[in-house]
Structure 1
């Protein structure tokens, strides 16, 4: 029963891959080599990663702008309530003034005293104060009505912009969901190709990806840009005989892996406990290792710069889930590792 379920799941995943990624499916149907299919999957994951990042950034920008327009509309609503309260108070004063004109007596309300211009209050001292006050209050009502009209228009415009942005946000969110679905499928294709290569202990050669657009100004960088630290150096666990020999960075499959500093690639291997791995020797003799990869973008002997993409993360070898296993070694060989975190910190890189 379980094997039947797995078979159905595999068929469904294959059908989704065929429907979503015709370029990969066409390559497989044409009898393209595993290298070609893996290369296309690597490039596709890179492109979808970039598209998803852009879509997420656009959604966040539109969300913030929508919130700003909503805040403007709420502010104008409060100002409208204040203006309408003012108009109501002024109308009451007009009624009092009219009654006072008949009686030729009576005082002026506290609202009039606080809302009218000083010059208008001074005019009240004359024998014709009430008619002049009547005019002053009427002018204040007119000003308040103009303010009400202006605020009503501004509120309507803000609400209209908010509705447009809300619709755009919905479209961007839907696009993001589609991209994330495609990205997960592409990651699955990439990892299956990587698992096959690791099982055969055959490295398929460097995949040619684009390079980061941002210029790296520091001579040392963290090996991945967005991550969550998981197993630390020296920690215990059932997957290693003694203490953990590196620092793990939890990242999704296909995340670009960067050389932490300039150096030369001394080893690219597939299979074994580390799965796909790259080892780089840096000036001064220290070496860094990047393991459990899904794809490699360099060959032995290549010279690399700090921040250069050298691989894509995965979960090949003795791995419990997608992550980058990063080591700093005194030599290229296993067993000469030191704690990577203080080593990076000494070079100005905090993780």
Structure 2
């Protein structure tokens, strides 16, 4: 577990950084209202900000739960320790009452005069003194343990309450960032739909790629998703059967090239809306459709995991998602089921 001394500092720094991000108005990133590239970059940044805020909030929540569990454990130990002290006190009371009933209340000089064997009386007194010392030692030890447990419980409870307060602040900042992200998504979607309706594809947006690029040869087209319409399914939106695998994701989600290849098509309009087609080794093609923005141009070389666009709902679409196809030609009509194809390349959906 991280040092408790460093945790408040790290959380405070994070809160300050996220406060700056949350306070930054959307207009600060927009520049020209007609600049789709600026808006796309803004959505990508907000995605990263929201992801960081969520990660730190979850870490803080888990740490608070650890501290809460500690406080509860110390409280249970304290209860047991107090019960043990009470039991020792009860034993001491029974010993005292037994001594009083057996003549232990008489002065030692009187006991020796009345006793038939004064040495036995002295031995009994020494035994009683030793018993008293032992009981006092046990009580003192229990009291010290109780004090340590009480101090530990107070520290754990204070740490827990402090983390709870910080988590509440972080949750509020996270909510504000997510609100800005939702607003930017809506604007990106409206801009993409207007471009497709006009039949004029906007230029590519050169987004900053994530620092950590994958070392795998093949990846899923989006990082976090829910699978929706599958290959071969029927429905009123398709002339025959569904020709790809749909990934339900919010507008603006970074879309990744599944493997190394070259971009052969960037287009917009028609049923697929804004789309990218990539040719891979072996003569296979992958299609990424219903995009809100593209980040590549025709002829570009791409690698696995590289961002090539942002998801949207352009074209024949009832909601935000990525339509992903695998084909043996760059045109429609030659699609394969992409799920087993990806599985053969080590990607399980």
TM-score range (shorter-chain normalised) is 0.7 to 0.9
Residue equivalent to 2:251: 253
Structure 1 unpaired stretches of 5+: 1-18, 29-33, 107-125
Cα root mean square deviation, aligned: 1.5
Q: Does 1:61 align with 2:59?
A: yes
Q: Does the CA contact (< 8 Å) of 2:31 and 2:38 recur in 1? A: no
Match of 1:191 in 2: 189
2:284 is the alignment partner of 1:281 = no
Q: Equivalent of 1:269, from 260, 267, 270?
A: 267
Kept after mapping to 1: 8 A contact 2:85/2:139: yes
Partners of 2:303 and 2:100 lie apart in 1 by 93
Query: How does the TM-score come out when normalised to structure 1?
Result: 0.85
Relative to structure 1, is the Cα distance of residues 25 and 295 closer, same or farther in structure 2, using a 3 angstrom cutoff? closer
- For 2:26, the equivalent position in structure 1 comes to 21
> Which sits farther off after the overlay, 279-288 or 204-213?
204-213
Q: State the 1:24 CA deviation.
A: 5.6
Paired with 2:177 and 2:336, the residues of 1 have a C-alpha distance of 39
Question: What residue is the counterpart of 1:49 in the other structure?
Answer: 47
CA shift, 1:130, in A, is 2.2
1:290 aligns with 2:288: yes
Specify the alignment match of 1:97 in structure 2.
95
For residue 23 of structure 1, report the CA deviation from its aligned partner. Answer: 3.3
Q: For residues 327 and 88 of structure 1, what CA distance do their matches in structure 2 show? A: 74
Query: Secondary structure of 1:27's partner?
Result: coil
Point out where structure 2 has 5 or more consecutive residues left out of the alignment.
1-23, 105-122
Measure the CA separation in 2 of the matches of 1:297 and 1:175: 29
1:1-351 pair list within 5 angstroms: 20-23=25-28, 26-28=31-33, 34=34, 37-104=35-102, 127=124, 128-351=126-349
- Maintained 8 Å contact 1:94/1:138: no
Deviation at 1:101, TM superposition (A): 2.9
| TM-score of the pair, normalised by structure 2 | 0.85
Q: How far apart, CA to CA, are the structure 2 residues paired with 1:271 and 1:245?
A: 18
Question: CA offset at residue 26 of structure 1?
Answer: 4.7
Query: Can you list the C-alpha shifts for 1:85-117, whole angstroms capped at 9, x where unaligned?
Result: 1111111111122223334489xxxxxxxxxxx
- For the residues of structure 2 that align with 1:231 and 1:202, how far apart are their CA atoms? 28
How many pairs were matched up? 307
Aligned partners of 1:287 and 1:51: how far apart in 2? 33
Aligned residues of 2:74 and 2:153 also touching (Cα < 8 A)? yes
Query: In the superposition, relative to structure 1, how do residues 245 and 269 fare at CA in structure 2: closer, same or farther (>3 Å)?
Result: same
Task: Tell me the secondary structure at the aligned position of residue 32 of structure 2.
Answer: helix
1:64-95 deviations in whole A, cap 9, x for unaligned?
A: 11111111111010111111111111111111
The separation in 1 between residues aligned to 2:90 and 2:348, in whole angstroms, is 68
Deviations 1:150-196 (A, max 9, x none): 11111111111111100001001001110111000000111111011
Give 1:285 shift: 0.4
